[in-house]
Structure 1
Amino acid sequence: MWLGIGVTLLVSILAEWLSRYIPSLGAEAIALLLGIFLGNTLLTQPQLTAGVKWSEKYPIEIGIALLGMEVTLATIEALGWQGILYIVLMMTMTIYFVMWIGKVLFKVDRKSGMLMGSGNAVCGSSAIAAVAPEIKASDDQRRTAVATVSLSGVVLLFVLPALGPAIFPHSDVLVGALIGGTVQSVGQVIGTASLVNINVVGYATLYKMLRVILLSVVVLLMSRSAQRHEQQALGETQTVPPIKVYKLVPWFIYAFLILLLVSSVVTLPQATVHGAKAVTGFFGVVNLAGIGLNLKWKTIAGSGVKYLGYGLVTIIFQVGLAVTLIHLIY
């Protein structure tokens, strides 16, 4: 995989360098655009695929874990009960709405609706990957949902950095709530927030962490729902096997929480904190470079007009819902 990893790192370094001359666009957006262009023109070799996919997934997990050194319990306290209520309502209403329009408007099968709902409500492809085996979704259902949700995230990546500050011009917390409550993948949340400012990155990540922490709950409920639906269809009454919830929470969430507790109790050296921020920032660029390199034109075409419309309606609903809830709760 080293060739693909090396290529992704080179694209990331090039994006960092170009960002000095295009600071308004930022290294993250440049990495994404550069990755899409190169991944569909010069860098299409099959031997790059495994390393690019690795670069898209794993470095950002380390970056997320290190974010625990940058926040404390006092920072989370700043979100208050409003933050928890906001995220719970966002996730619940998103899942129900996405599954409902999938059935009524876009006529997709139930499992695809569940994958789309969980992917948009929680953390994109990671949530879809966690839910798919639990509801016995097919590879085609999984791939289509991942492609659609990924493309939706790309749209939000470019829209929200302009829309958020325009709607909430004097509050980094509320801009962070908008981004952290709507954008699908963790890496895209960091990339989107980075296009606003570093304070928004911190708040958006906290809101996103609340969503990711609830991933285990979503997987559990989706699994139980799918099993009940299957039993009803087959007329069976067998007992649903228990699910080990702790295995559904990603390792980087545990690491994030541990480092958060440590930074809340102990004052960490500034050099250590700044180093963690630098690593997190660069790994965010690597993540978006990987996303771009891995986002092929055939993936976009493979989603079809129906699923692209499904994804577009979903993100419009999410953004509208987020703005409404923020105004009501805050």
Structure 2
Amino acid sequence: MRRAFRSPRGFMRGRMTTQTRHNTLYGLIFVSPWLLGLLVFVIYPILASVFFSFTDYSIIKPPAWIGLENYRYLFVEDKLFLVSLSNTLYYAAIFVPLGTVVCVGLALILNMKVKGMAFYRMVFYLPSIVPAIAGSMLWLWLLNPQYGLANELLRLLHLPRLGWLSDPRWAKPSLILMSLWGVGGGIVIFLAGLQDIPEHLYEAAELDGASSFRKLIHVTLPMLTPSIFFSLVMDLIGAFQYFTAAYVVSGGSGGPMDSTLFYALLLYRNAFSYFKMGRASAMAWILFLIVFVLTYLLFRSSDRWVYYGGAER
């Protein structure tokens, strides 16, 4: 009987195929803990929340299918839902653009070549690493209407005292002020963007006789648009998830007069105070759709104003 002849090329191909299978198997083994965590702690909760949003579920009793009733109730009967959505939109509409302007302005100042600038950068970044609860407690003291430092400063300036967090008219502006205090992370992003702008662009602008203001408008800001776009997207997503400070300053009640009842706070109350998991799940998916649509619109608009160096427009 003649033995089948196997060419060296075929032999090597067989070895490579076996080695590839072994590598794939080992890779799956090593990545399996992460995959298991992804399935158990991410994918399953997402799918479960979709199902629960169509049910009457309160943890104590098994979920009962009610179709779109949770969504109908939120939009038609639940007045607090619209209040919380309005408060969140107010916060996002003011904080997102204002926070971006403040970050860009401070980054421009901190980008100056001045002795000791590293210290000032540290000072402005420090609030962003303070835990949210600790920072909120600090601001509760600063904005206390009776003995807070803010009203003491107003008194020294012979200005009327403000109710701050205890006044429905000033509660949301106070929370926006608190958020602006912690924009150090955004400043770092814009500082990195400023230092990435090629110097020859400024030199060319100077040769054309451009003033400092014109260099800012025609060189700095256009080259900074990728960082501005990233900041807008992240701040928008964060604004609709605003929770910790509102919970701390109001004790979870959303007061005074529901002026700090943000969307995430009402969602939390439905889930963990009233144990209405089905309604809370419906709120979560409504929030996802709102953020998705707004983020999509931002991405669609980015082609018109975001400049990536070297990219064709």
> How does the TM-score come out when normalised to structure 2?
0.36
Bigger Rg over Cα? 2
Q: Which has the higher helix share?
A: 1
> How does the TM-score come out when normalised to structure 1?
0.35
